[in-house]
Structure 1
Amino acid sequence: MKPTRTGLTGLAAVLLGTASLALAAPAAADPQGAMDAGTTAESAEQQAALVAGEDRRLTQVRAVTAVAPTRGIGWAKPYRLDTGDGYTLVLTQQREPYTVTDLLKLAPQTFVRQADGSYLLTENIYLNSGAKLRLSNPGGLTLRMASTTNGFVSIVSFGGGLTVEGTPQAPTKITSWDVRTGLPDTRVDDGRAYIRAIGGQFAMSYAQVSDLGFWSGRTAGVSLTGTDRPNTGDVDGPTHLTKTQRHEAKAERLATDAAADAAPGAGDVFAQPSGNLAAPDTRFDVPGLSYVSGKIDHASISGNAFGLFVSSANGITISDTTIARSLQDGLVLHRFASSADIQRVVSIDNGGDGIVLSRAAQQVRVSASTAQGNGGNGFTVNGLPLATGASASGEFVGSYGNNSVTNSVARYNAHYGIEVIGGLNIAVQNNTVVGSDMGIVAREGADSVAINGNQVSDQRRQGIAVRDGVTNALITGNVVSDADNGIYVRSSVAEVRGNTVEGATNHGIALVDATGGSKVSYNVVAGVGPSALDHSRARGDVDIDQNTISAWHDTSSFWVRFRHYASPMTMLWVAIVLLIIGSAVLGVRRRRPGIHHPYANTVPLRAPAPAEELVGSAA
């Protein structure tokens, strides 16, 4: 937490005072109130200020840990920093990972075993570069991270190795904890406990994490972030000390013991006074960190601000994990997350999107995953450039891509099932999309998008929509049912081939605006509506060939059909044909007023009749 008193005796007093408040606290928190508090302008400003405060604290701690090795060998041990508004336990590099047993020794007043067997953490933990912490315990570990209106704690690894590990029978459980209510902290307006790995390695398996984080991605709950600077790769154990160094270390320990009255401590943890920081020794360089890497499997994450946030990461694998009820998005792979493999991840009932691939995330494969009941999209794949021209940060202006969403399910999400925004070489294949506003949408100039073999059903508007400058889209082998428009192409170039559209209620396949170069062929279209193939609004040459529309019931009126077929060219040819026929008929009538023998002019003249015939005729 962030007590305002200095020294361990002051910390103990704060803890006792907090425990006393718990007796008078209400029995339950108000989750709805927490949600409302997190959306007001005042709360937004407060949370943003808390994030900035956390950034400053981590910068301070990093500066001290960078200088510490120049102060003597004694700083090779864990030590505690007073950062003005709280304490941070700094774990330094050693050969073996720190464990729960080590924390009990290093922080006996701030890492305390509770009567129910859980552990309560009431100060920040910071893993220095190369340090390793393993949060695990035989029989299962329950870690409660203090989080109240007075402050919150965090576990941050800066270039170290953080492992959260349980077993199928006894998972490790981590949650925020309000000691006044005896419940997890559900409010975010005053900040909330979180876990973060900055560079280094992170691993989590058979773990249950809940109700962590607030406001930003880096304080999201569980966040894996890194830098884009080269990594030395040194996260191994410490180097062996020489005999002279061992003597210097002993002298440092003796000096530290002599100063115990001025700087209270506990065990091997030493408290340092707050104040101005010593100027760094220019001979010592602050270590540069690489992208974070890690593996997460068989985990459950619920109630976080963002369920799981990953940025500047390389080679992350996430599998067999459930993310639920996040206040914002579920799983976010943010900028410069690359070569990630997401398998069998279930992201449900989150306030935003289920799974998000943000701009500058590339070579990410999402497969066999489910996004259901989310407030935004099921899956979002954003490959837009970080900048469109010269920028202050000098960002790359090209698109990002080589991402895929395959063999996955998007079900009953409030916005779209799967949305592709810009980017290049995107694959959306063999997915099942059910019950959203639109099923699969590609837009904003995406290039080379393959939408193949998907089952799309029960969409309020379009089943598959490609619009707003998409090029080289290939839409093949999809089955689209029960949508207002089955397949919709607008101001884009696409090949729509071999799809089945059934149960459409407006248009089966529609091409609108500049769609020149598109091709629609070998599709089977069934439904009831004004048209099976609507291309009357298309501009440019469109090739429409070998489509089967015999099962389509046309409900348009006579004049609608007339306008549909009465194109200017059609009307011109009709007029020409009618003019020719009319002219022919009039010409025949002028030449032949009556009916005559066709060979009258060639009939030979008849001989005069005999006299007796004439007499008989007269009688």
Structure 2
Amino acid sequence: MSGRQSGAKQPVVIGIAFGLFVGILASVVVVRVSLLGEHAADTMAASTAAAETVAAGRAYPGDSRAEAALVEAESERLSYVRRVSASAVGDATVATPPYRVRTGTTYTLVLTPREQPYSAPELAALAPGTFQRDPDGFFLLSENIVVLGGATLALAPEEGSVGLDIRLASDTDFFVSIVTSGGSLVVDGTETAPVSLSSWSRSTGAPDTQTTDGRAYVRVIGGRASVSHADVSDLGFWSGNTGGLALTGTDEAATFDGLLDPAPDSVSAAATATGAPVLPPGPLVVPGSPTPDALVTAGLDNLRVSGNAFGVFIANAHGVLLRDSSISDSLVDGVVFHRAVENSSIVRTESRDNGVDGFRAARSSTDVAFTAVTATGNGRDGLALDGRPLAAGPSATGTAVVDYGDSTIARGEFSHNGRYGIAVSGGSDLSIRTNEVAANLGGIVVDGDASDVTISDNRLTDQVRQSIAIRDGVRAASVVDNSIAGGDTAVYVRNAGATVERNTVSRVSNHGVTLVGDAGDVTVTANVVAGFGSIPIFTEDSEGGTVAHNDTADWHPAITVATVVNAVFQPLTIVWILLALVVVGTALATRASRSTATIRHPYADRVPISAFTRGFVSRESMK
């Protein structure tokens, strides 16, 4: 009897054990999913930090050591020419005709001061051996040119021609440049007859695309530049000063080592068979200032630049205007305001497919405006503006510790750049408004202790990470009236002060607004936040901050495996599931037990006695 009772209890025990096992397994699943969600968040944060650190644009293809040495040699050559010129043009009342200076293995044609500009035909007369017209119609320049203060080099097409094409020799062991040293450069093309300036490799019969051995370039030092309807391509190497088309102020001093060596006979013969004599070396007069003191000024319009090391490089300049132009495929940056650029503007200009930044304004540039510009497909940022001080404290040069700013970015388009659409580091009184920013890693990013930054009326679409990020010491930022769609997070504020008001957010996949760290000076009000994610306004990782009167009615939690599991495995739900599993497990176990038992008669243990005998028998059968 006891054996039958234990056999009856066995299915129940099996069912209970099965139910407990399933319950424990379900709890483990819930915990594991939760941990995976936290790990995914940590992974996303780590990948964002890695992207910010690693994204430095496309690598420069040249030879850093060789090209840096060539930059230094060019600086020495130009400084030597200026000192020779100070000796030759000592008396300003006496006109000095153009002359040549022997500089190492090359010659430099020096255009001296005069009222009338030097033209392309006059260059051909001054240098018939080194400025020659090719049968294909272009001019090949195989000699350096320096334009002194008081002189102007004017390059314009002949009347009735289709343009002026000047190619600067750029071979494996030799390249030339056109440099003004306080003088002026005028490139005056027209819509139907542009002026073209490019490098030319005589060995390959094609533009020089290799920078390892240096490359021809054009530079304006001090003075003024006026360039209109010009095509500039495949110029420059390594530095901004030698980067292609450079407009700069002062230059570096040099030692002149090796510049007094005689030139090879072939170069000497080509140079001296001209109307301009070679200035014999002699005692040099050291001028009071070996470099021009004046800032460069420039007007550039309808300019097409492609394939330069730096598209257009501008430093120590005042009143520069670049408009209606296109810069593309630069090895480094498209357009650079390097240092001490003031009161300058870029208008209706496109900068695309450059190695690093489309537009860049470096430290100590102030009162610059970018209006209706387009930056797309650049290796790092569409537009990078750095307004931080040149020094954080006492320095060797005694530089003032001041922020730079008063700059505006308006009505621009910034899309498909490798890192940010617009990046601002430091500075004050900055305005970023009415721009279209789309499909970058980050949209508008402000950091580096910037202050009084207004970000308003911009439309941001489908950034990978944050559409607007305010972080790391920024003060008094205003993020108002922006339209933000798509991306991970619309507005991200970390350890900064900002007012986030009246923004319209839609289609974001994580948070509408995220506050991290010290948010004591952050106000988030009157925003309309819609999307699919965990929390519309995330403040759990912040301290302080005011969040009020935001419309999150159209915010919907994202439907993911984690949310489904969390919704199902609530405490009471788990209890009911366990009870159901006990019942189902018991039934299954009982059924399994019955299916394996032998079929028996229900009264097998209660049979009649007749079943144990043969019944009645006759006497005869017993005999």
TM interval, shorter chain, is: 0.7 to 0.9
Give the direction of change, closer, same or farther, for the CA distance of 1:287–1:308 in structure 2 (3 Å limit). closer
For 2:166, give the aligned amino acid. Answer: L
Residue number in structure 2 paired with 1:165:
188
SS in 2 for 1:428: strand
Give the direction of change, closer, same or farther, for the CA distance of 1:533–1:95 in structure 2 (3 Å limit). same
1:266 positional shift: 4.4
Give the direction of change, closer, same or farther, for the CA distance of 1:67–1:75 in structure 2 (3 Å limit). farther
Residue number in structure 1 paired with 2:277:
270
1:287 positional shift: 6.9
Residue number in structure 2 paired with 1:102:
122
SS in 2 for 1:371: strand
Contact 1:106 1:266 in 2 (8 A): no
Give the direction of change, closer, same or farther, for the CA distance of 1:383–1:262 in structure 2 (3 Å limit). closer
**Structure 2 residues not aligned, in runs of 5+:** 1-56, 253-267, 568-623
Work out the CA distance in 1 between the residues paired with 2:460 and 2:533. Answer: 19
1:472 positional shift: 0.1
Residue number in structure 2 paired with 1:554:
557
Residue number in structure 2 paired with 1:202:
225
Give the direction of change, closer, same or farther, for the CA distance of 1:74–1:152 in structure 2 (3 Å limit). farther
Work out the CA distance in 2 between the residues paired with 1:501 and 1:302. Answer: 38
Residue number in structure 2 paired with 1:23:
none
Work out the CA distance in 2 between the residues paired with 1:387 and 1:194. Answer: 32
Give the share of equivalent positions with the same residue, in percent: 41
Counterpart pick for 1:475 among 471, 474, 479 = 479
SS in 1 for 2:324: strand
- Report the TM-score, using the length of structure 1 for normalisation: 0.76
1:147 equivalent to 2:154? Answer no
1:354 positional shift: 0.3
Work out the CA distance in 2 between the residues paired with 1:183 and 1:532. Answer: 58
Contact 1:68 1:75 in 2 (8 A): no
1:554 positional shift: 2.5
1:398 positional shift: 1.2
SS in 2 for 1:157: strand
Out of 492-501 and 391-400, give the one that drifted further. 391-400
Contact 1:263 1:271 in 2 (8 A): no
Work out the CA distance in 2 between the residues paired with 1:396 and 1:71. Answer: 39
Contact 1:217 1:306 in 2 (8 A): yes
Work out the CA distance in 1 between the residues paired with 2:506 and 2:269. Answer: 81
Residue number in structure 2 paired with 1:27:
none
Residue number in structure 2 paired with 1:401:
405
Give the direction of change, closer, same or farther, for the CA distance of 1:528–1:263 in structure 2 (3 Å limit). closer
Counterpart pick for 1:56 among 71, 76, 81 = 76
Aligned length: 490
Counterpart pick for 1:545 among 542, 545, 548 = 548
1:131 positional shift: 0.7
1:319 positional shift: 0.1
Work out the CA distance in 2 between the residues paired with 1:51 and 1:457. Answer: 42
1:85 equivalent to 2:105? Answer yes
1:535 equivalent to 2:535? Answer no
Contact 2:127 2:275 in 1 (8 A): no
Work out the CA distance in 1 between the residues paired with 2:157 and 2:273. Answer: 23
The C-alpha deviation readout for 1:208-264, integer Å capped at 9, x for no partner, is 0000000000001000000399xxxxxxxxxxxxxxxxxxxxxxxxxxxxxxx9998
Residue number in structure 2 paired with 1:352:
356
Work out the CA distance in 2 between the residues paired with 1:407 and 1:48. Answer: 38
- Report the TM-score, using the length of structure 2 for normalisation: 0.76
1:68-467 paired onto structure 2 within 5 Å: 68-70=88-90, 76-138=96-158, 139=161, 140-227=163-250, 265-266=272-273, 268-273=275-280, 277-280=282-285, 288-467=292-471
SS in 2 for 1:339: strand
Work out the CA distance in 2 between the residues paired with 1:345 and 1:210. Answer: 17
For 2:76, give the aligned amino acid. Answer: R
Work out the CA distance in 2 between the residues paired with 1:52 and 1:543. Answer: 56
Work out the CA distance in 1 between the residues paired with 2:443 and 2:290. Answer: 49
1:67 positional shift: 1.2
Work out the CA distance in 1 between the residues paired with 2:251 and 2:203. Answer: 42
Q: Which runs of 4+ in 1 moved over 2 A?
A: 35-40, 69-75, 261-268, 284-289, 554-561
For 1:545, give the aligned amino acid. Answer: A
For 2:410, give the aligned amino acid. Answer: T
For 2:250, give the aligned amino acid. Answer: T
For 2:184, give the aligned amino acid. Answer: G
**RMSD between aligned residues:** 2.4
Give the direction of change, closer, same or farther, for the CA distance of 1:528–1:262 in structure 2 (3 Å limit). closer
RCO (CA 8 Å, sep 6+): is it higher in 1 or 2? 2
For 1:96, give the aligned amino acid. Answer: Q
Give the direction of change, closer, same or farther, for the CA distance of 1:425–1:304 in structure 2 (3 Å limit). same
Contact 1:38 1:187 in 2 (8 A): no
**Structure 1 residues not aligned, in runs of 5+:** 1-34, 230-260, 562-619
Residue number in structure 1 paired with 2:527:
523
Greater C-alpha radius of gyration: 2
The C-alpha deviation readout for 1:115-141, integer Å capped at 9, x for no partner, is 011100000000011110001122210
For 1:60, give the aligned amino acid. Answer: Y
The C-alpha deviation readout for 1:160-199, integer Å capped at 9, x for no partner, is 1101111100110110000111100000000000000000
Give the direction of change, closer, same or farther, for the CA distance of 1:165–1:420 in structure 2 (3 Å limit). same
For 1:210, give the aligned amino acid. Answer: S
